[in-house]
Amino acid sequence: MFANPTPEALRVLLQETGTIAVVGLSPKPDRPSYTVAQALQGFGYRIVPVRPAISEVLGEKAYARLSEVPGKIDLVDVFRAAEHLDALVDECIALNIPAIWIQEGIVNVAAAQRARQAGITVIMDRCIYKDCVALSV
């Protein structure tokens, strides 16, 4: 069975996070990934778009893969369908990413458990924006 971290653990994670790689960030302003990433920028986070075939979103250079992102990534925020999580978890494990936030409506328990077993903090089926607001981060 999968359980998300406690609200206090989420608050600490969000307070300690500086750079968020947003996998699947759409360049379209009407998409949830765009509005959430824009809000995260407003909260003071550095956003790194990860999406092939685009060069920039929200004023930030985009990368095709996590492995192409220069510098440290504190958290990966995932806006991709559940069937893509296995490969993404593999990449996060290889890159020693400390935390993965799998957005609301996206569930892959096996991938989440594999990430946890590798020492990655996993939040699944929750909206990072809603938690930032609810936890007053």
DSSP-assigned beta bridge partners for residue 49: 22
pLDDT digits (tens, 9 = 90+) for 70-126: 999 999 999 999 999 999 999 999 999 999 999 999 999 999 999 999 999 999 999
- CATH superfamily of domain region 7-134: NAD(P)-binding Rossmann-like Domain (3.40.50.720)
What does pTM read for this prediction? 0.95
